[in-house]
Structure 1
């Protein structure tokens, strides 16, 4: 029995990689660290601006890494465990590592990242694409 997906429509050509990406994103169930995604009003510019804010309390900037890999924004955090001389009566704040992946649409650019008060903010934009109309010549073969 064949599986029918929204991308199996014959009018949607070349979207098979997008389907695989959506399946992978749906499988990632980890919710740490919590994050917000907000639309930022552009300053009179055409296009769209977004801000991703992750709650990374306890992480120093040297313990965080933000990178782009193909069409993905990857945020990694790794805290060092240097608690050898400390005795905890209760340990509710875990020193744990994380990796959060955001899939970027074509044309999205990462403008920068800033760590302030335990919140990592990543600025993104997508400039307005140029409208491209191209006429295709039809050749006649007899």
Structure 2
């Protein structure tokens, strides 16, 4: 695995510890899990689609944390089968997605073997850009204006 020297970035960034650490220590797990797509469906909307043939919604667990989304699947034991060939993977899986700040899970649907998870970025009003007035010598201008979204 390739590692990068992040020391120049540590000197000029504040609060990006998790991002810089994730470059050298990815948490996505192995690539032998189910196939998936990540799609931007709007300016602040995203969709993750996972191909989960052979699984039912009851066998899938989705866990949302502040900076991570975990999708896990464990097939219920349905007795003995005498497969001549088994191409559909039924083994347990765990897929972890790192989420940026303010990304929330809006919805999850399962249809025809496809799990679709809709994500949306919801920035709190207090965190949106705002204009700060500058006091001039001898003036008492202490207003703060919120920047209107265009």
Partner of 1:51: 47
Where do 5+ consecutive residues of structure 1 fail to align?
42-46, 138-142
Where do 5+ consecutive residues of structure 2 fail to align?
136-150
- State the shift of 1:82 in Å: 1.8
CA RMSD of aligned residues (A): 2.6
Matched, 1:131 2:129: yes
Which contiguous aligned blocks of 4+ residues in structure 1 show a shift greater than 3 angstroms?
6-9, 26-29, 132-137
Partner of 1:140: none
Separation in 1, partners of 2:69, 2:8: 24
- State the shift of 1:114 in Å: 0.2
Contact 1:65 1:76 in 2 (8 A): yes
User: The residue matched to 1:13 in structure 2 has which SS?
Assistant: coil
The correspondence of residues 2-81 of structure 1 with structure 2, limited to 5 A, is: 4-5=5-6, 8-25=9-26, 28-41=29-42, 47-81=43-77
Per chain length, whose mean CA-contact separation is higher, i.e. which structure has more relative contact order (CA < 8 Å, sep 6+)? Answer: 1
Compared CA separation, residues 7 and 120, structure 1 to 2 (3 A): farther
87, 91, 95: which is aligned to 1:96?
A: 91
Separation in 1, partners of 2:7, 2:63: 31
Partner of 1:44: none
**TM-score, with normalisation over the residues of structure 1?**
0.77
Separation in 1, partners of 2:117, 2:50: 9
Separation in 1, partners of 2:26, 2:72: 16
Compared CA separation, residues 27 and 101, structure 1 to 2 (3 A): closer
**TM-score, with normalisation over the residues of structure 2?**
0.73
